[in-house]
Amino acid sequence: MRPLPTGVEAVVFDCDGLLVDTEPCWTVAETAIFAAHGHPFGPEQKALVIGRTLEAAGEAMAQYFGRPGSGAELAAELLERVRKELARGAVALPGAAELVRACRASVPIAVASNSPRELLDVALWSAGLAEHFTHSFAADEVRCPKPAPELYLTACATLGAAPTRSVAFEDSATGIASARAAGLYVAVVPSLPGTGLDHDWLGAGLAAPEVRDWARGLARHDRRP
């Protein structure tokens, strides 16, 4: 495992399951859909959909249910169910607000999310994090969302940062693949235990003292090559 880098030009965060505790909202919605089609929902099924766009999750469910061609219908149902769950509110995950503030004090930051803009905005506002981000990028605002690199490349370009001198914080294999393809350093706090995710740095949470100290120390380093 590589240490967190100090010569950083930007930090880009995933949202769901990383900054904001929205995964319970998604899990309730996904569990209901799987149950309606006669299937249980556990870690194996969660791994099929976590981190994916609505469209990709719909297609994954359609294949799992043996209902090819019904992906769009399932994605629409998932959106409606998650919308209802998120309306009840979601909270920032431990350490998220502190880390975001500490990074923002030293380097440009952004959110790159595989959620559509509607759900991304609700999650960030509900968790009290929206005010910290001038820039955020949603799945429905790019041609190829995660696992393609476009979201991360767009974020870095907007922030004026080289991807190879930027850090991505992620929690899922789909997001990690996107950040890796874009060339960012990949810091991972897994949403699912025991997944063996690719990473440069792996931690148990954003509140880890190592992460806090790293973020506070960014201001002491020259970020230019």
DSSP code of residue 67: -
Single-letter residue type at 128: G
| Residue 33 belongs to some domain of the structure | yes
> Do both 95 and 72 map to the same domain?
no
pLDDT at 196: 87
The pTM assigned to this predicted structure is 0.92
Query: What does the pLDDT average to over 153-178?
Result: 97
pLDDT at 193: 80
Q: Identify the band that residue 223 occupies on the pLDDT scale cut at 50, 70 and 90.
A: very low
Distance separating alpha carbons of residues 51 and 15, to the nearest angstrom = 10
Q: Give 195-208 pLDDT, tens digit per residue.
A: 789 999 999 999 99
> Do both 157 and 171 map to the same domain?
yes
pLDDT at 222: 47
Structural contact between residues 45 and 34, judged by C-beta atoms closer than 8 angstroms: yes
> Do both 82 and 97 map to the same domain?
no
Give the containing element (helix H, strand E) for 64. Answer: helix 54-64
Tell me how far the alpha carbon of residue 97 is from its chain's centroid. 15
What are the distances in angstroms from CA 184 to CA 4, 13, 81, 178, 206? Answer: 12, 11, 33, 9, 18
Give the containing element (helix H, strand E) for 111. Answer: strand 109-112
Q: Give 14-59 pLDDT, tens digit per residue.
A: 999 999 999 999 999 999 999 999 999 999 999 999 999 999 999 9
Q: Give 58-103 pLDDT, tens digit per residue.
A: 999 999 999 999 999 999 999 999 999 999 999 999 999 999 999 9
Domain that holds residue 208: 10-22+90-220
Structural contact between residues 133 and 111, judged by C-beta atoms closer than 8 angstroms: yes
